[in-house]
Amino acid sequence: MKIALLHDYLNQWGGAERVLHVLAQMFPEADIYTLFYDKEKLTHRFAGNNIKTSFIDHPVVHNNHRLFIPIMPLAARLLKVKNDYDLIISDSAGFAKGFRHSKKTKHICYCHTPLRYAWEPEYITSKYKDLSGGVVGKLASAALSYLKSWDLEASKRPDLMLANSGYIADKIKKYYDIEAQVLHPPIDTKFFSYDPKIKKGKYFLAVGRFMHYKKFDLIIKAFNKLKLPLKVVGDGPESSFLTSMASDFPIEFIKNPSDEELRSLYRSAKALIFPQVEDFGMVAAEAIACGTPVLAYAQGGALEIVEDAKNGLFFSEQTPESLASAVEKFLKKRWDKKKISLSAEKFSADNFKKEFLNIIERVQNPEILRLTDSPPPLGKEK
Same domain, 142 and 12: yes
For residue 123, what pLDDT is reported?
61
Give the per-residue SS3 of the chain: CCEEEEECCECCCCHHHHHHHHHHHHCCCCEEEECCECCCCCCCCCCCCCEECCCCCCHHHHHCHHHHHHHHHHHHHHCECCCCCCEEEEEECCCHHHCECCCCCEEEEEECCCCHHHHCHHHCCCCHHHHCCHHHHHHHHHHHHHHHHHHHHHCCCCCEEEECCHHHHHHHHHHHCCCCEECCCCECCCCCCCCCCCCCCCCEEEECCCCHHHCHHHHHHHHHHHCCCEEEECCCCCHHHHHHHCCCCCEEEECCCCHHHHHHHHHHCCCEEECCCCCCCHHHHHHHHCCCCEEEECCHHHHHCCCECCCEEEECCCCHHHHHHHHHHHHCCCCCHHHHHHCCHHHEHHHHHHHHHHHHHHHHCCCCCCCCCCCCCCCCCC
As a whole number, mean pLDDT of residues 228-234 equals: 96
**Is 198 part of any domain?**
no
Residue 358 belongs to a domain with what CATH number? 3.40.50
**Is 155 part of any domain?**
yes
Same domain, 54 and 142: yes
Same domain, 289 and 327: yes
What's the whole-model pTM score? 0.89
Residue 300 belongs to a domain with what CATH number? 3.40.50.2000
Same domain, 322 and 357: no
Same domain, 359 and 265: no
**Is 278 part of any domain?**
yes
For residue 144, what pLDDT is reported?
87
**Which domain covers residue 244, as residue numbers?**
204-346
Q: How many domains does the chain fold into?
A: 2
Q: Which range, of 89-98, 141-150, 257-266, averages the lowest pLDDT?
A: 141-150
For residue 89, what pLDDT is reported?
98
Over the stretch 10-67, which tens digit does the pLDDT of each residue have? 999 889 999 999 999 999 999 999 999 999 888 878 988 999 999 999 999 999 998 9
**Is 373 part of any domain?**
no
Same domain, 180 and 222: no
**Is 381 part of any domain?**
no
Same domain, 57 and 173: yes
User: Is pLDDT at 130 greater than 80 in this prediction?
Assistant: no
Same domain, 117 and 211: no
Over the stretch 353-368, which tens digit does the pLDDT of each residue have? 999 999 999 888 765 4
For residue 210, what pLDDT is reported?
93
Same domain, 130 and 273: no
Same domain, 251 and 118: no
For residue 137, what pLDDT is reported?
65
User: Is pLDDT at 350 greater than 50 in this prediction?
Assistant: yes
**Is 298 part of any domain?**
yes
**Is 192 part of any domain?**
no
Q: Which range, of 5-14, 78-87, 113-122, averages the lowest pLDDT?
A: 113-122
Over the stretch 202-212, which tens digit does the pLDDT of each residue have? 999 999 999 88
Higher pLDDT, 382 or 303: 303
User: Is pLDDT at 179 greater than 70 in this prediction?
Assistant: yes
